[in-house]
Amino acid sequence: MKEPALVLGIETSCDETSAAVVGAGTCILSNVIASQEHLHQKYGGVVPEIASRKHLETFIPCVNEALEQAGVSRNDLDAVAVTCGPGLAGALLVGVTGGKALAYGAGLDLIGVNHLEGHIYANFLDGRQADELEFPLVCLVVSGGHTDLILMKGHGQYEVLGRTRDDAAGEAFDKVARLLGLGYPGGPLVDSLAQKGAPGAVTLPRAYLEEGSLDTSFSGLKTAVAHVIREGSVKPEDVAASFQRAVASVLAGKAFMAVERTGARRLALAGGVSANSELRKTILSLGRRLGVPVHIPPARLCTDNAAMVACAGYHGLMRGLRSGWDLNALPNLSLGDTSIYLRTGGQ
């Protein structure tokens, strides 16, 4: 099988239009990200209809910019990897339709990528790190829509060990930011405010749930934060730092419990919330203490971007997977769902 040396990645699942050219699954030749943050800010969250319209406007310029920065033309590419779910239906549809048109027009292979798988594969973009990533691997995927603990048994092989029972970690950050009057998206704003605060200033609840559970819950914590803010006796930076510490300690505790329970070799972090400074620090120091090697992508590759999609696509293509021209946007796509691939493509 010919190696898909140059893959164009496309990501439009939420409010970032992104296109990237990645060589051999590890060499990022370009990773253009057009954020719509400013458009959604005044609504305090992503408005799906506005997101899809903006993706439509930005898609072609973004792809052209990615090709130009990489110094390649469409005909130099081997394949197109596009996020096909989960995410916002209209937003996904722009990327999937555009990706299919590009691949069909230039005679390239096409592969649909699960957005969560994309986040996980941000860890494989660094070639040196990718060589070290041994399976089984526990992945903690923490984003705006997901808080999942996943056992990755091999490339493309996933078992969900636990997930949030209410809010996703990123959603909790965004809601706390709103309560603090910080704006959207809240995670980075809470993170920077927390730098000036004391994480031990206020005791907040940590929901570990039933003994041994690998699920998480953040709604009680969010309510407790709302209560503290309403009382008005704690400085906002102390609230931010204490909240961040509570989230990080629960997530780290659960992640290492999963490593111990499964006998996994390593722990990898993925998704927007893994850009959080407190979470990175907590997981790294606990990993050192417990002797568990930890992998975290650089902060700029934790949030939505197309390089991670190209990388996941590359690994799928290397396993012989392809998608057909009937590939569709699948807003509720689960990790490991192989219906996005052509039946004839063997593992």
The contact set with ligand KG4 (CB under 6 A) reads 14, 119, 143-145, 170, 173-174, 185-188, 191, 271-273, 275-276, 303-304
Least separation in angstroms between residue 145's CB and ligand KG4 is: 5
The number of C-alpha atoms within 13 Å of 32 and in the hemisphere containing its C-beta is 19
Q: How far apart are CA 81 and CA 323, in angstroms?
A: 9
Q: Which stretch binds Zn ion (CB under 5 A): 50-58, 74-82, 135-143, 330-338?
A: 135-143
- Say which amino acid occupies 10: I
Least separation in angstroms between residue 14's CB and ligand KG4 is: 6
- Regarding 278 and contact with Zn ion (CB under 5 A), the answer is no
Q: How far apart are CA 347 and CA 335, in angstroms?
A: 16
- Regarding 143 and contact with Zn ion (CB under 5 A), the answer is yes
Residues between 289 and 308 with contacts to Zn ion, criterion CB under 5 A: 304
- Please choose which of ligand KG4, Zn ion, none residue 188 contacts, taking the beta carbon within 5 to 8 angstroms, the exact cut-off set by kind: ligand KG4
Site string for Zn ion, 196-215 (x = CB under 5 A): --------------------
- Please choose which of ligand KG4, Zn ion, none residue 85 contacts, taking the beta carbon within 5 to 8 angstroms, the exact cut-off set by kind: none
Pick 113 or 225: Cβ nearer Zn ion: 113
DSSP of 35-96: E-HHHHGGGTS--HHHHHHHHHHHHHHHHHHHHHHHT--GGG--EEEEEEESS-HHHHHHHH
Rounded to 10°, the helix 277-290/236-262 angle is 40
Pick 108 or 168: Cβ nearer ligand KG4: 168
Q: How far apart are CA 315 and CA 99, in angstroms?
A: 18
Q: Phi and psi for 224 in degrees, rounded to 5?
A: -65, -40
Least separation in angstroms between residue 275's CB and Zn ion is: 11
Query: Which candidate, 322, 312, 320, 314, places its Cα nearest to that of 5?
Result: 314
* DSSP bridge partners of 267: 138, 294
| Number of amino acids touching Zn ion (CB under 5 A) | 2
Least separation in angstroms between residue 276's CB and ligand KG4 is: 3
Residues that bind Zn ion in the complex, under the rule CB under 5 A = 143, 304
